[in-house]
Amino acid sequence: MSDAGNEIICPNCGFHATGNYCSACGQETHLHKETFWGLVMHFVGDYFHYDSKFWMTMKALWFSPGKLTIAYWNKQRMRYIKPVSLYIFISAVYFLLSVNSNFQYMKLDTGDNKSVKKPVSTYPSYKLENTLPHDSKMENYIDKKWDKIKVKYPDTTEFFNEKLTHNVPKIFFFMIPVLAMLLKLVFLRRKDLLFADHAIFALHYHSFWFSLFLLSEFNLPNNIEAVLLPILMLLTACYFVAALHNVYKINYRKSIAAAFFIGISYAVLLAVAFLASLFIVIATA
């Protein structure tokens, strides 16, 4: 039974509502004591609503390059998960799996016929003294920092694993506005697009990248992984070209040219970000 025309005080926000739902906050205006069965039904309904929304979002993300960005630009925002929430969820899963896969375990003989497990990094060892310019002040500074690091971390690769692995998610989050900036530069003539519009595209593309490369974080045989990684890189490149074509309404020749320029620029800036992170880690050790 509807109460249209009868003024009701919303129990949630205090708004003077008319009807069965508050027009200010969306809550039902007629609520009764909840039964246990009612709680169960609400839980099931909310779960399957989110579950269907999640899979609908992932389907659009994987199989329709640029569809989520176009929907967001067109203000169709209730049917899909929000770009920031999607990125945070997928990247969190990716980095959690990545941290686990970056450590192998080996058995150490303790002398009493017992074995213990010790994490061994898959990262290469770092030889900074051979890569830095020959400057006495810089060398002295690095030597002091290096000695300080070795006191706390006899195995320096463990130090880099701990610090850099912690910083990698921050670096990629920083790269989202970088990609948006590159898109803004390439499509500078599109006065109808704001920086935030490009950032939405960047969030969706990074979400796709991380969701696809989740496949590489499982313990696969080396021969399969060697074939899988180039395929994943090719797929992300093709996806980027298709997304540019669909979202920015340009032909594939221009999409390929734009993807090439953005890809090279992104890779260079990403390398700079990693080097900067490396030196910050050493400087703050």
79, 40: one domain: no
Whether 152 is in a domain gets the answer yes
97, 235: one domain: yes
Domain that holds residue 20: 7-58
pLDDT at 79: 86
* 7-9 and 115-121 strand pairing: unpaired
Whether 1 is in a domain gets the answer no
pLDDT above 90 for 34: no
In 3-state terms, what secondary structure has residue 79? coil
pLDDT band at 132 (very low <50, low <70, confident <90, very high): very low
Boundary residue ending a domain (34, 58, 82): 58
Whether 2 is in a domain gets the answer no
Q: Which positions ≥6 away from 98 have C-beta within 8 Å?
A: 165, 168, 217
Higher pLDDT, 131 or 211: 211
Is the distance from CB of 244 to CB of 258 less than 8 angstroms?
Answer: yes
Match 């696969």 to its residue by tokens: 220
Alpha-carbon gap, residue 232 to 193, rounded angstroms: 30
pLDDT tens digit string along 42-98?
A: 666 665 555 678 889 999 999 999 999 999 999 988 889 999 999 999 998 888 877
Whether 214 is in a domain gets the answer yes
49, 186: one domain: no
36, 104: one domain: no
pLDDT above 60 for 109: no
45, 117: one domain: no
70, 150: one domain: yes
138, 166: one domain: yes
Residue 24 DSSP code = T
User: Number of structural domains, the chain?
Assistant: 2
In 3-state terms, what secondary structure has residue 41? helix
What 155-162 contacts at long range (C-beta under 8 Å, 24+ apart), as own/partner pairs, is 155/121, 156/125, 156/126, 157/121, 157/123, 157/124, 157/125, 157/126, 158/119, 158/121, 159/285, 160/121, 160/123, 160/126, 160/281, 161/102, 161/103, 161/119, 161/121, 161/123
pTM assigned to the model: 0.70
